[in-house]
Amino acid sequence: MVVGRQLFFFSHAYRLTAEPLYRNCATRLFEDLTTNFWDEDNGGWYFSLAVDNSPSDTTKDLYGHAFIMFGLAHYLAIFGDDKALPWIGRTNEIVSNRFALPGGWFAPATTRDWTLLGRNLEQNPHMHLLEAYLSIYKTTKDDAFLSCATRMMSIYTEMLRTSDRSKVLEHLDEKAKASGEKGKLIEPGHLYEWYWLVSEYADIAELPAFKSACAPIMEWADRRCLDVDAGGIFDMVDTSGNIVSSRKRIWPVTEQIKALTTLVRDTPTERAREALVGAITFILEKYCGSNGSWHEYLNKNLEPDCDFMPLSTPYHVGMAALEVERLFGGPGGFGMRNTKSPDFP
């Protein structure tokens, strides 16, 4: 998963700067991924490697497969390396044949030799499969991948979204039902992310009705998931809006920024612009250090609450920055032209 995210990140770093160092990083990541992470005997991608490149965790993780396709799509778009395309097709074939379940969704993980590790429906990998398929379609213009994205949208509308259409559930059981306390959990960052993704799908698939269909999600998130006293976004709430975790991780703010750029583009009101400026200012002042570092978590009072920086996080920051770039004429997260960044005022 992290390699897929970094492949995306360094590919766009090169597009924006033309700095050879970033091309070298992206190229080395691609070679490392395709040389060491692929299971030559059974197919699919190992979850993790040891330092000597031997398999460490041989689980085949749906979330990881989604991000590998995502990273490969951006690498292909920016560098035009045709070697990436067969790997995308191979990975999608694995997802379609090995993870698919009779209910219409995909299993969260399997063993090395494809024994399913659960038949439950998890929101997060399906959301990122949608993101991957939209990225591949924008790169290749292959309608098969738009059809795959449409399948993910069906899972979202028919299974993951609550009946009032205002929330997206995280964990469902083998019958696609939310059960127990775990079934009530909501990650606010994912609500903003779905708002952005559904809107992007609406534009790419030319189905504008989805624009209004996703509006209740952002409205509920703004109403129930923001800390109106201290500022920031709570990590976890439940379906009633009760706070489950009052910590505040950086990535939900990046997803809020993406959602707000969509809102500003579609409905350019002064209120929307002020909200976007406020979110960008908040992340810069509260999370980002002057030397390129960041605070991964803040506590409820916005004090640093973590002493490490996961290398999965630059993907979130990068996607948010690309969407802000689009407001100034750049290609954005899915418009992967090989162009430099526009001049910012």
CB hemisphere CA count around 210 (13 angstroms):
19
pLDDT, tens digit, 9 for 90 and up, residues 301-331: 999 999 999 999 999 999 999 999 999 888 8
Euclidean distance between CA atoms 304 and 250, whole angstroms: 11
pTM of the model: 0.96
| Residue % of the chain over a pLDDT of 90 | 92
The arithmetic mean of pLDDT across residues 25-48, rounded, is: 98
User: What local confidence, expressed as pLDDT, does residue 212 receive?
Assistant: 87
The contacts of residue 314 (CB under 8 Å, 6+ apart) are 5, 6, 9
User: What local confidence, expressed as pLDDT, does residue 335 receive?
Assistant: 73
H helical segments located in 18-104: 20-32, 62-79, 84-94
339 pLDDT higher than 90: no
Q: What torsion do the CA atoms of 70, 71, 77, 81 make, to the nearest 10 degrees?
A: -130
DSSP 225: S
Exposed/middle/buried for 207, CB within 10 Å: 0-12, 13-18, 19+? Answer: middle
| Residue % of the chain over a pLDDT of 70 | 97
Residue 344: pLDDT band (50, 70, 90) is: very low
The arithmetic mean of pLDDT across residues 171-188, rounded, is: 96
Euclidean distance between CA atoms 165 and 212, whole angstroms: 11
- Mean pLDDT of all residues belonging to the chain: 95
CA-wise closest residue to 26 among 47, 46, 6: 6
The token pair at 187 is: 């990650």
pLDDT, tens digit, 9 for 90 and up, residues 246-278: 999 999 999 999 999 999 999 999 999 999 999
113 pLDDT higher than 90: yes
CA-wise closest residue to 205 among 125, 136, 143: 143
User: What local confidence, expressed as pLDDT, does residue 337 receive?
Assistant: 57
Residue 342: pLDDT band (50, 70, 90) is: very low
Domains observed in the chain: 1-156 (1.50.10.10)
